[in-house]
Amino acid sequence: MSIVPKETIEVIAQSIGIPNLSPDVALALAPDVEYRLREITQEAIKCMRHSKRTVLTADDVDSALNLRNIEPIYGFASSDPLKFKRAIGHKDLFYLDDREVDFKEVIDAPLPKAPLDTAVVTHWLAIEGVQPAIPENPPIEAIVAPPDGKKMDHGKDDSLPIDLKLPIKHVLSRELQMYFDKIGELILGRADTPLFKDALLSLAKDSGLHPLVPYFSYFIADEVSRNLNNLPILFALMRVVKSLLSNPHIHIEPYLHQMMPSIITCLVAKRVGHQISDNHWAIRDFASKIVASICRRYGHVYHNLQSRLTKTLIHAFLDPSKALTQHYGAIQGLSALGPSVVRLLILPNLETYMQLLDPEMQLDKQKNELKRKEAWRVYGSLLLAGGSCLYDRLRLFPGLLSPPDILPWKTNKKIALTNLPNNKRKASSRLTAHQPPTKKLAVDPTGTNSQFPSTDGPATSSSSGSNPNHHHSHNSSNNNSSSTGNITNANANINNVSGSGAHGQRVAVSNVLRQAWKEDLDAGHLLSSLHGLFGEGIFSFIQPAEMHCFI
């Protein structure tokens, strides 16, 4: 009933030498004890208020006891508010951490330093209603000046409005400096440790890192240009960029212009890391993703961000003098920006580019194996870009993803098969004359069928995007007698372990697909776009279905 339990009364009674207090007395005392406690607290709060404090101290309780003519409780006075600790296992039980002090210890200890004497300093809190930005005033923005605690500098007190005009020195706190140094050290030295992962997490989550952003952006730019052939460091740097970008507390916009060149460098540099041993493709892919995410997030703020970016990339893509690695990066970057970019910028140039790329991919024409591999890579990325673009287009017309009947499938298969001889890769780009008929054949089934569940669309066409890629890598490894096999095609193997006979056909099919894209180009140029889309849609669509039939 009372917040003072009767057990407490009993304990106190025992402690003052009343061993057997009757429970009735304890029960009667408990409410009164609570009442007196409240009374004393009320008085103590008054004393606290008149000492202009908001924290109750032992002194206040003593003064309150004095007011009531009660002997104060000695031994608890302290100039600072007492620090209570929560008793473990109890929700609202607190105790004072009161250490036992040895007398000898106290005597032997050197005299404590005399406390500083009270002093008064003045400053301008406001001048004609405006707060001057001097250390004595609290900072207005989030950037916190180092907490120097004491305003001992009397000279500064004279800082009149003239001081305001001076640029405010940007001071980095010691903690932030240490943080920055640590991160830098991690990036350059120990990027593979779990600690670095934690650091990335902290970069992505922590607030209060804003003062460091300019330093980071400078650091990244500096290190990227210096470590172009050190892939782990580049990777670490890119991951730092990604973390910074994802930190919700950082306004990174003002520093984007400093960061972008470094990222683009990682994307389209001629040489990134050791060309042979390192998997520089991965960092290009990673950089392309970062670029795309930047464009998505800040594209609306900086109108020319995406246009400038695409301009840079398309330049890299269309310049035949640039290395294939650069082409690859450009294609990846462009395709990461979305299918519409691909459609507008890559597809129109695809035909000419294929003419350029084709000889590079041929065993007989390009003797340098490395170069050839690069070419295949580029080819793969083009395929991927085109595929995703196509898929995107198709998604716009879900009604058109209609299931062909079994029969048309078969006929179509036949067509594909019959087309196979014509479509030797060598000649594929030149055989434009053959394409109108194929297209016609392709268009036919569309007219006839119309009940394919549209949900199947994504799965099939995505496989159309990815599978051919693998086929080609397969193909290339087949073609190359000295296959290094370092191009991973495990997925393709899992999907397509179905005999070597089918293999060849699939290669052919992918050729058809490629043709289809070329047709898309043609269609884009020649026919009205909608009609063209029909054609291409069916082509890519039927093909995996057919493959499905195979398997």
Partner 1 sequence: MEEEVEKAVFAYLRKKGFRLTEIALQEEQTRLSSDASSLSRSESDAAKYYDGYGKLRSWAYNSLDSYRHELLRVLYPVFIHCFMDLVAQGHMQEARTFFQTFREDHEMMHLRDLQTLEGILSPSHLEEMELARLWRQNKVKIRLCQYSYELLVQYLHKTQSLAMLGVINEHINFEVYPGQPASMSDDSEAVSLIGTSQDLAREINQKELHWGLLEDSVEERMEKTLSESDKTEVDGNKEADTEDNNKKKTDGNKHSTAVNNKKKKDKVVGATGKTIRSESSMVSVPPRVKPELTLPQFPPEVEQSILEDLRNRVQLNSLALPSVSFYTFLNTHNGLNCSTISHDGSLVAGGFSDSSVKIWDMAKIGQPGRASNPQGENGSMQGMHSLASDEAKRPYSLLQGHSGPVYSVSFSPFADFLLSSSSDNTIRLWSTRLNANLVSYKGHNFPVWDAQFSPMGHYFATASHDRTARLWSVERIQPLRVMAGHLSDVDCVQWHPNCNYIATGSSDKTVRLWDVQTGNCARLFIGHRSMVLSLAISPDGRFMASGDEDGTIMLWDLSTGRSVSPIIGHSSCVWTLAFSCEGTLLASGSADCMVKLWDITSSMKALKTDDSKSGPASRLRLLKALPTKSTPVYTLRFSRRNLLFAAGALSAGS
CB of 35 or CB of 95, closer to partner 1:
35
Annotate 348-397 with DSSP letters as a single string.
HHHHHHHHHHHHHH-TTT---HHHHHHHHHHHHHHHHHHHHHHHHHHHH-
The backbone torsions φ and ψ at residue 171, rounded to the nearest 5 degrees and listed phi first, read -105, 135
Is 129 a binding residue for partner 1 by CB under 8 A? The answer is yes
Smallest gap from residue 300 Cβ to partner 1 (A): 34
Smallest gap from residue 115 Cβ to partner 1 (A): 6
CA 211 to chain centre: 19
Of positions 5, 22, 23, 49, contacts partner 1 by CB under 8 A: 49
CA gap 94, 7 in Å, rounded? 18
Contacts of 84 (CB under 8 A, 6+ apart): 94, 95, 96
Is 51 a binding residue for partner 1 by CB under 8 A? The answer is yes
Binding mask 53-72 for partner 1 (x = CB under 8 A): xx--x-x---x--xx-----
CA gap 302, 254 in Å, rounded? 10
CB of 29 or CB of 341, closer to partner 1:
29
Smallest gap from residue 173 Cβ to partner 1 (A): 16
Is 84 a binding residue for partner 1 by CB under 8 A? The answer is no
**What's the N-to-C CA distance of the chain in angstroms?**
80
Is 369 a binding residue for partner 1 by CB under 8 A? The answer is no
Q: Which of residues 467-496 bind partner 1 (CB under 8 A)?
A: none
CA gap 439, 442 in Å, rounded? 5
Is 22 a binding residue for partner 1 by CB under 8 A? The answer is no
Q: Which of residues 138-177 bind partner 1 (CB under 8 A)?
A: 138, 149-152, 154, 157-158
Q: How is residue 251 annotated by DSSP?
A: -
CB of 145 or CB of 318, closer to partner 1:
145
State the amino acid at position 362 in one-letter form.
Q
Of positions 107, 120, 433, 494, contacts partner 1 by CB under 8 A: 120
Is 80 a binding residue for partner 1 by CB under 8 A? The answer is yes
Is 52 a binding residue for partner 1 by CB under 8 A? The answer is yes
Q: Which stretch binds partner 1 (CB under 8 A): 136-144, 309-317, 478-486, 499-507?
A: 136-144
Query: Ramachandran region of residue 129, left (φ > 0), alpha (ψ -120 to 50) or beta?
Result: left
CA gap 224, 105 in Å, rounded? 58
Binding mask 26-45 for partner 1 (x = CB under 8 A): -----xx-xx--xx--x---
Q: Which residue has the tokens 């290339």?
A: 476
Applying CB under 8 A, the site for partner 1 has a residue count of 52
The backbone torsions φ and ψ at residue 275, rounded to the nearest 5 degrees and listed phi first, read -55, -40
- Please give the helix or strand (H or E) that residue 479 lies within, else none: helix 456-479
Nearest to 183 by CA among 160, 212, 145: 212
Smallest gap from residue 71 Cβ to partner 1 (A): 16
Q: Which stretch binds partner 1 (CB under 8 A): 120-128, 387-395, 439-447, 461-469?
A: 120-128
Of positions 11, 127, 168, 363, contacts partner 1 by CB under 8 A: 127
Name the token pair of 104. Answer: 């000898």
Q: Are 279 and 230 in contact (CB under 8 A)?
A: no
Its sign, for the CA torsion 514, 519, 522, 527, is negative
CA gap 359, 210 in Å, rounded? 51
Q: Which stretch binds partner 1 (CB under 8 A): 121-129, 173-181, 334-342, 390-398?
A: 121-129
CB of 143 or CB of 487, closer to partner 1:
143
Contacts of 451 (CB under 8 A, 6+ apart): 402, 403
CB of 52 or CB of 170, closer to partner 1:
52
Of positions 102, 128, 141, 364, contacts partner 1 by CB under 8 A: 128
Smallest gap from residue 76 Cβ to partner 1 (A): 15
Is 116 a binding residue for partner 1 by CB under 8 A? The answer is yes
Smallest gap from residue 91 Cβ to partner 1 (A): 17
Instruction: Classify 264 as helix, strand or coil.
Output: helix
- Which residues of this protein are in contact with partner 1, per CB under 8 A? 1-2, 31-32, 34-35, 38-39, 42, 46-47, 49-54, 57, 59, 63, 66-67, 79-81, 115-131, 136-138, 149-152, 154, 157-158
